[in-house]
């Protein structure tokens, strides 16, 4: 059994689909998160902290959402940005610069006290006005390159196949 350490139950649903065959349980543990623009550094530290709290094998992940109109920010601070200013504020900045490009990046890690495996994947795309559909976070605002719908509009099956999180976690599963 591997413990997914997250406070987001939607992530557990995604991970169970993406990592089929891996037995996962979820624990919501408030792990300290280092402040860094380096996603790998954040995720590796988070994995070690989560392992200490759980006392057994863990999987953690974190996301960086890089918006060209803001010089790559908010990056790994996207959760904080959303709470402080909301995703709509990013649209205002995109309108102002007429630059809608964005990159969604996910770093995921497994740690069992000895072995630490890290995987990362990115999806390039663009921001758009909020749309309906399935998902959470910026899924309602992000259109991946090669598509004309947001992650939310594409639905979970397609999203999990092409998303930053899906690709990162499949790479992590291969490493395990």
Helix (H, G, I), strand (E, B) or coil at 98: coil
Backbone angles phi, psi at 32, to 5 degrees: -65, 140
Condensed to tens digits (0 to 9), the pLDDT of residues 85-119 reads 999 999 999 999 999 999 999 999 999 999 999 99
- Over 90: is that where the pLDDT of 152 sits? yes
What are 19-22's contacts with CB under 8 Å, separation 24+? 19/169, 19/170, 19/172, 19/173, 22/173, 22/176
Condensed to tens digits (0 to 9), the pLDDT of residues 18-53 reads 887 888 888 888 888 899 999 999 999 999 999 999
State the average pLDDT over residues 62-82: 96
pLDDT of residue 175: 93
What is the pTM assigned to this prediction? Answer: 0.92
Q: Which domains does the chain have, with CATH numbers?
A: 2-175 (3.90.950.10)
C-alpha closest to that of 51 among 9, 18, 11, 2: 2
Average pLDDT, the chain: 93
Residue 163: band (very low, low, confident or very high) from pLDDT cuts 50, 70, 90:
very high
State the average pLDDT over residues 61-76: 96
């Amino acid at each position: 059994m591997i413990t997914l350490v997250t406070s987001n139950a939607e992530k557990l649903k995604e991970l169970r689909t993406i990592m089929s065959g891996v037995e996962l349980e979820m624990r919501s543990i408030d792990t300290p998160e280092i402040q860094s623009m380096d996603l790998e550094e954040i995720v590796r530290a988070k994995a070690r902290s989560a392992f200490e709290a759980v006392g057994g094998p863990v999987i953690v992940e974190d996301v960086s959402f890089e918006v060209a109109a803001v010089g790559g920010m908010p990056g790994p601070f996207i959760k904080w940005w959303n709470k402080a200013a909301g995703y709509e504020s990013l649209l205002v900045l995109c309108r102002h610069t007429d630059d809608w490009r964005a990159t969604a990046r996910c770093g995921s890690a497994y740690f069992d006290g000895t072995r630490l495996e890290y995987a990362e994947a990115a999806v390039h795309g663009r921001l758009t006005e909020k749309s309906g559909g399935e998902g959470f976070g910026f899924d309602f605002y992000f259109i991946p390159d090669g598509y004309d719908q947001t992650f939310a509009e594409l639905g979970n099956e397609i999203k999990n196949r092409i998303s930053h999180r899906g690709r990162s976690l499949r790479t992590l599963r291969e490493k395990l």
